[in-house]
Amino acid sequence: MNDSALQAAKAQIEAACAVAGKPVIRTFFDEPTFTATHVVHDPVTRRAAIIDSVLDFDQAAGRTSHASADAIIAYVHEQKLTVDWLLETHAHADHLSDAPYLQQQLGGMLVIGREIVTVQNVFAGIFNEPTSFARDGSQFDRLMSDGETFAIGNLGAIALHVPGHTPACLAYVIGDAVFVGDTLFMPDYGSARADFPGGDARTLFRSIRRLMQLPDETRVFLCHDYKAPGRETYVWETTIGAERTGNVHVHDGVSEDDFGTMREARDKTLGMPRLILPSIQVNIRAGHLPEPEANGVSYLKLPLNLL
């Protein structure tokens, strides 16, 4: 298969491994949602990207707050970084994005995968969204496709389309690191579920195996960690080599059928994520709350007996 996007990503990682000036990565872990937000910067130019932010949400009170984002903003100021990019790996189902607040405070272009339009259309139906809800991705600043390149200062970056968990999932290769979203978890934990609307286990397998063709030394940064049984600490960084040889769901030698059968059986046992209904409604709007009603209040919907 002539996979030019993957070849470009491999070449970039090999080049980045060979030179000084690899990306500096600081991770902020949100324990209530087990989400890792990564701040990536070029040490030479101090240009930065923030990947997968978290809007704090007290579901019982219906109240949002920005403590998690404020910690990131303080770090960006302290490190004297300029934020060029706010990257979303996908429309998350387990936490709300705080990208609009970060953008207002720090600037940067808000990016997600081009297939977000598919996700918007599916969930516009589920939530019976009004016609004023745009289903063309226009809530974001830029929609990226497979193989699209961009830069963070002097660091090269490439988006790879890795569908399966959702149709719109992107992995971002930045310098010698890849930010895989929910395609992979730590080797001892495995892979993400593939049973959300538009998800597909066999598609996820193919995306993961594609990522595993990156060089073994590629640093891999995850969107989540849940501590595998027997592990006491949260970890969100590994390597392609470690995933390829040791991932409990999808190491070398596991076939597409083996993975698909395992993943589909396991997904049937999983309940819906605690925050799926609020998360999706906000994240398909690029992290914005729904349009306020006549009294100035935003409301979220709770579809009954649907999911």
Residues engaged in binding Fe ion (CB under 5 A): 92, 182
CA distance 152 to 193: 31
176 versus 182: smaller Cβ distance to Fe ion? 182
For Fe ion, the closer of residues 18 and 270 by Cβ is: 270
| Nearer to Fe ion among residue 88 and residue 182 (C-beta) | 182
With respect to Fe ion, which residue has the nearer C-beta, 184 or 262? 184
Sheet holding 149-152, edge to edge: 149-152, 155-161, 170-174, 177-179, 219-221, 237-239
Q: Which residues, in sequence order, are CB contacts of 130 under 8 Å at separation 6+?
A: none
Cβ nearer to Fe ion, comparing 89 with 218: 89
User: Least distance from C-beta 294 to Fe ion, angstroms?
Assistant: 34
Closest distance between Fe ion and the C-beta of residue 7, in Å? 27
Least distance from C-beta 91 to Fe ion, angstroms?
8
Least separation, in Å, of the C-beta of 22 and Fe ion? 27
Rounded-to-integer distance, Cα 6 and Cα 12, Å = 10
Q: Which is nearer to Fe ion, 155 or 160 (CB)?
A: 160
Residue 27 CA, distance from chain mean position: 13
d(CA 198, CA 276): 15
Crossing angle, helix 256-268 and helix 201-211, to 10 degrees?
130
Residue nearest to Fe ion (CB): 182
CB of 93 to Fe ion, least distance (A): 5
Identify which of residues 103 and 191 has a Cβ nearer to Fe ion in the complex.
191
Least Cβ distance, residue 206 to Fe ion (angstroms) = 18
170, β-bridge pairs: 161
CA torsion 190-97-25-163 (nearest 10°) is 40
Positive or negative: CA dihedral 98, 99, 102, 103:
negative
DSSP structural state of residue 229: T
Query: Cβ of residue 207: shortest distance to Fe ion, in angstroms?
Result: 13
Q: Which of 158, 160, 123, 120 is nearest to 140 (CA)?
A: 120
What is the amino acid identity at position 195? Answer: D
